[in-house]
């Protein structure tokens, strides 16, 4: 792709703009929906309680769904809802053939167990890629939905022409939401990166990272990755989010790393917007799988 000065950081690294790529992907999905004859494709969201950040996040998903030509259905439950009430609400969506994708906004309020709730969602409707069955399908390379944040990173790699075949990648963080699926996506046949899984307790993290062509920082530790971790020219993806006295920060010390890296995501505006875009892509794909 063509890169101009406005696409670079002051240090010269390519700025991988998640907002820009998200909007491109949303437009592409809307075109695909229109080309299919504008079928009704429904993303259902379930939110329990009145957590403000979760409310904002759900509303943003609904807006982007509309832009992508998808329909939204929202189930809002009181924070005092019982485990049975939450599971019954999700089961209704599972049983409804007009619903193609289901997303349960986490975390649930204290006292509610998310696992039985998520277990109700069949893999085809699990557009967040959170259930153990979805993870199993990813491991076995069977049709299904990968978690949205790792998928978004793969889309950024594609969009910015960052080579993966033969590259060395380090994924920092071992969550089932980001770290573990990211390792699988980078290492699968056709992508062909050689992947190392690290984490906040990796003793020689600088040494592990310094030889990597791709770094995905998803440990949730503020400022974990600095210039000393980064090979000149490497692509660096910041997934971690930490709330500090200075506000929300990522795992990557952006100002120093952007002077060394070849490409870098901002925080915010990098991997976060891509998560929502890939949720819409998964929902579109779910509708095609269910057709």
Q: What is the pLDDT of residues 8-55, one digit of tens each?
A: 999 999 999 999 999 999 999 999 999 999 999 999 999 999 988 889
In the chain, the N- to C-terminal Cα span, in Å, equals 35
Distance CA 131, CA 137 (A): 10
Distance CA 148, CA 138 (A): 13
Q: Which two tokens stand for residue 181?
A: 């699926």
- Does residue 86 lie in a domain region? yes
Same domain, 211 and 268: yes
Same domain, 56 and 153: no
Same domain, 153 and 212: yes
- Does residue 131 lie in a domain region? no
Q: What is the pLDDT of residue 247?
A: 81
Residues sharing a CB contact under 8 Å with residue 261, sequence separation 6 or more, in sequence order:
11, 13, 230, 232, 233, 234, 235, 236
- Does residue 252 lie in a domain region? yes
User: pLDDT of 210-225, one tens digit each?
Assistant: 999 999 999 999 999 9
Q: What is the CATH number of the domain that holds 114?
A: 3.40.50.10860
Nearest to residue 153, comparing CAs of 286, 254, 272?
272
Same domain, 162 and 268: yes
Same domain, 183 and 90: no
Q: What is the CATH number of the domain that holds 206?
A: 3.40.50.720
Same domain, 81 and 164: no
Domain count across the chain: 2
- Does residue 155 lie in a domain region? yes
- Does residue 43 lie in a domain region? yes
Q: What is the pLDDT of residue 224?
A: 96
Task: Please give the model's pTM, rounded to 2 decimal places.
Answer: 0.95
Distance CA 159, CA 153 (A): 10
DSSP state of 215: E
Q: What is the pLDDT of residue 23?
A: 97
- Does residue 74 lie in a domain region? yes
- Does residue 54 lie in a domain region? yes
Query: Bridge-partner residues for 48, per DSSP?
Result: 77
Same domain, 152 and 268: yes
Residues serving a catalytic function are 61, 105, 128
Residues of the chain with pLDDT under 50: none
Same domain, 98 and 42: yes
Q: Which domain holds residue 220?
A: 148-272
- Does residue 59 lie in a domain region? yes
Same domain, 112 and 219: no
């Amino acid at each position: 792709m063509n890169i101009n000065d406005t696409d670079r950081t002051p240090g010269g690294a390519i700025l991988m703009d998640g907002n820009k790529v998200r909007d491109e992907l949303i437009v592409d999905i809307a075109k695909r929906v229109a080309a299919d004859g504008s079928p009704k494709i429904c993303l259902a969201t379930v939110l329990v309680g009145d957590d403000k950040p979760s409310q904002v996040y759900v509303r943003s998903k609904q807006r982007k769904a509309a832009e992508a030509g998808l329909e939204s259905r929202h189930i809002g439950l009181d924070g005092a809802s019982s485990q049975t009430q939450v599971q019954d609400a999700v089961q209704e969506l599972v049983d409804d053939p007009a619903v193609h994708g289901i997303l349960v906004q986490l975390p649930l309020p204290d006292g509610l167990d998310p696992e039985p709730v998520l277990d109700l969602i069949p893999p085809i409707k699990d557009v967040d890629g959170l259930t153990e069955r979805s993870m199993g399908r990813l491991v076995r390379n069977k049709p299904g939905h990968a978690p949205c944040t790792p998928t978004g990173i793969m889309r950024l790699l594609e969009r910015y022409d960052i080579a993966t075949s033969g590259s060395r990648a380090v994924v920092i963080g071992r969550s089932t939401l980001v770290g573990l699926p990211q390792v699988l996506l980078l290492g699968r046949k056709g992508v062909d990166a050689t992947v190392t899984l690290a984490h906040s307790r990796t003793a020689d993290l600088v040494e592990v990272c310094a030889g990597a062509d791709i770094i995905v920082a998803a440990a949730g530790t503020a400022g974990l990755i600095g210039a000393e971790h980064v090979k000149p020219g490497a692509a660096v993806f910041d997934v971690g989010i930490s709330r500090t006295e200075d506000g929300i920060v990522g795992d990557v010390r952006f100002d120093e790393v952007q002077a060394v890296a070849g490409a870098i995501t901002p925080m915010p505006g990098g991997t976060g917007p891509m998560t929502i875009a890939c949720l819409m892509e998964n929902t579109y794909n779910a509708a095609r799988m269910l057709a």
